[in-house]
Amino acid sequence: MAMRREQSDRLFAEALRHIPGGVNSPVRAFRGVGGTPFFARRAHGCRVEDADGNEYIDYVCSWGPNILGHGAKPVVDAVIRAAAHGLSFGIPNPAEVDLAARIRRWVPSVEKVRACNSGTEATMSCVRLARGFTGRDLIVKFEGCYHGHVDSLLVAAGSGALTLGRPDSAGVPARLAELTVVLPFNDIGALRATFGERGREIAAVIIEPVPANAGLYLPEPGYLECLRELCTAHGAVLIFDEVMTGFRLARGGAQEIYGITPDLTAFGKVIGGGLPVGAFGGRADIMDHLAPLGPVYQAGTLSGNPLAMAAGLAQLDELEARDGFRALEATGAALEGALREAARGHEDRLCLKRIGSMFCMYFTPGPVRNLAEAKRSDTKAFAKFFHAMLDRGIYLAPSQFEAGFLSLAHGPPDVEATARAAAASLREAL
């Protein structure tokens, strides 16, 4: 039975008058699944309540940062304490030093780190820094990997650009796009051929080590190792975009899990505790090319602002105190098992992927190892499934090509309720 959404529908109609598309980020518009979005009124733990009073178990978690759940008391308390002393200074503050030290301690590849305000800003800064450090212009990225709305990286992108069917944005100059080489993920032959032909031109390779913006698929054995070897041999900077995976999959992110050391890493999401934040860091000899030490300019009035730093520190403290990564893996494994059981009888039409607290159910039999295979998904069936789940109080990302996220607030009752809803919703969708 469909939930009442009169207030959300009214708000969306009003939003359309004032905001392009009625939303401030494209994927929120539900274009990938049809219908109109609901408007959130409040959230706590793993549940979010809409403007009509409907409650949902949330597997979006603000697209990843709410790893403790919504409204986690240690994070809220830290923000309140920080706010009492001032919202922003534009002056160095102690918390930004503390968070930088924490990132260095948890991620061994990071020798120096700089805070910024978003994941997009972090990846943009990594690319500029790599070009300034190497004196080269060419960037290599991968199909389906979304690195924010950076001009040179919004080519064959994932996330909202993929959902909307326009992976290349208008407004990106052709000459700039020509400086970006796009390769299929998990294709070692394509990697070797590209470096063989243009290795001396390549400033950097930027990659999501676990692509989470075209759903979720994993690097095959030897792939990231080959990439590291080629970058080292040709003097290119290897950039890991861990905006999604950093401090979510492990203390040291995906690079800890796969044992690969990048030269630079972009961070976001979890280190803001739900507030806008980004950061990037890596080898000291590269980072020291940033102003004021070097010629690569990067700046931000709100970079390292005390509220975001306090929230991030509190969140990382809580993750450590609660052995959070072990708990998230256990919940992730339980959810995977429950969803596989719910999908019994439909295995020939589905492919479930999971790593740690991230997951995606593709409506294709698989395998799914890259964007081309992900795009074989039956998006109409997914849209039916999405709305059936929403009507049963389960909120998944409104696109086949987005990952789902767990938090420490999700528990066995939530997993059981989700599995029951999934079993019924799959019968309707398939």
Provide the CATH topology of domain 6-71+322-429. Answer: Aspartate Aminotransferase, domain 1 (3.90.1150)
User: Sorting pLDDT into bands at 50, 70 and 90, what band is 165?
Assistant: very low
What is the rounded average pLDDT for all residues in the chain? 94
Segment 309-367, tens digit of pLDDT: 999 999 999 999 999 999 999 999 999 999 999 999 999 999 999 999 999 999 999 89
Q: 171-199 pLDDT, tens per residue?
A: 777 777 788 999 999 999 999 999 999 99
- Out of 56, 146, 258, 362, the active site residue is 146
Contacts of 268 (CB under 8 A, 6+ apart): 65, 118, 119, 122, 243, 246, 277, 278, 279
- 166 or 261, greater pLDDT: 261
Q: Which of 50, 58, 241, 263 is catalytic?
A: 241
pTM above 0.85, yes or no: yes
Show me where the domains of the chain are located: 6-71+322-429, 73-320
pLDDT band at 167; cut points 50, 70, 90: very low
Catalytic residue among 269, 353, 375, 384: 269
- Is 146 an annotated catalytic residue? yes
Report the topology of domain 73-320: Aspartate Aminotransferase; domain 2 (3.40.640)
Beta strands in 65-193 (DSSP E): 112-116, 138-142, 180-183
Measured CA to CA, the distance from residue 386 to residue 138 in angstroms comes to 40
Residues 12-48: tens digit of each pLDDT:
999 999 999 999 998 899 999 999 999 999 999 999 9
Give 3-state DSSP helix, strand, coil % of the chain, rounded to 5. Answer: 45, 15, 40
Distance, CA of 59 to CA of 393 (rounded, Å): 11
Among 303, 244, 277, CA closest to 118: 277
Q: What is the pLDDT of residues 121-137, one digit of tens each?
A: 999 999 999 999 999 99
- Strands 278-282, 112-116: pairing kind: antiparallel
Which residues are paired to 70 by β-bridges? 45
Structure tokens at 414: 């939530």
> How many helices (H) does the chain have, and how many strands (E)?
15, 14
